[in-house]
Amino acid sequence: MPLDKKTLLDAVKTAKAESGKKKFTQTVDMIINIKEIDMKAPEGKIQEVVELPRPPSKLNKVCVVASGEFALKAKRANADNVIERADLEALAGKKKELRKIAAAYDVFISEVPLMPLVGRILGPVLGPRGKMPIPVPPAADIAPIIERNRKTIVVRMRNQPIIQTSIGTEDQSDEDLVENIQAVLRVLEGKLKRGFKNIDVIFIKTSMGEPVKIKA
C-alpha cells in the first residue's frame, strides 16, 4: 500500500524545518532501503530515468554528442554543450579533461551512430557516475528530448539494496516535493518484483540535515 500524501508531507516539512537555514539552497534527497531482493538478479540492478513533475529551478545541464545536421539542431535547441565527432576523438586518452566534462553535465545524449565511439572514449568516466548517454536516432527531434531531460533524475541501485536520489530543493513547496517523491515511488513499484512490499523504509533529508524516517 503506497504511503499517503499526509505522511509524505509531514516528513518533508520535518526534514526542512530541522535542517535550519543555510547560506545556500539545499537539495532534498530521498533514501530508500529495499528488502527481500536478490541483488544478483536483474531486479537488483535498477537504473531508471524519472521525469520530475515539479522540477527545481536549477535544471539539469545537458551535453549532446553529435555530428553534422544533428549537432546544428542540438545547438539551436540550446544544449549546454555540443561535442562533435572530431572534438570527441581529440579527447581520447585525456583523462583529466574527460573527468571535467563528466562532472560538468548532468545528462548526456548521443546520436546513435556515435555511440560506439562515445562508449570507448567517454564510457570509462560516465559509466561509474551513472551518466551513460541516452542514444537518439539522427532523425529525431532533439529539442523536446533536451527539454525533457533537463527535468530528470536517475534512480539507481548498484551493489547495495539502497537507492538515494535528489527529489528537488528546499525552496520548492512541500506539495511539489511530495509530487516528485510519488513519481519516483510509482516507477519503483513497477520495477520491483513485489512492488511497494519490497520497500522497507524511506528517509527524507536535506543536504546538511538529519534523515527523517518514514516506515513503509
| All structural domains of the chain with their residue ranges | 5-57+152-215, 62-149
- Determine if residue 15 is left, alpha or beta; phi over 0 gives left, psi from -120 to 50 gives alpha, anything else beta: alpha
> For 88-115, what is each residue's pLDDT tens digit?
999 999 999 999 999 999 999 999 999 9
Beta bridge partners of 65: 83, 110
Contact between residue 51 and residue 97 where contact means Cβ atoms under 8 Å apart:
no
**How would residue 42 be classed by pLDDT, with cut points 50, 70 and 90?**
confident
Pick 5-57+152-215's CATH classification: 3.30.190.20, 3.40.50.300, 3.40.50.2020, 3.20.20.480. Answer: 3.30.190.20
* Burial group, residue 82, by CB count within 10 angstroms (0-12, 13-18, 19+): buried
Q: Please give the CATH architecture assigned to the domain spanning 62-149.
A: 3-Layer(aba) Sandwich (3.40)
Q: Which three cell numbers stand for residue 30?
A: 530521498
Q: pLDDT tens-digit profile of 155-193?
A: 988 889 999 999 999 999 999 999 999 999 999 988 888
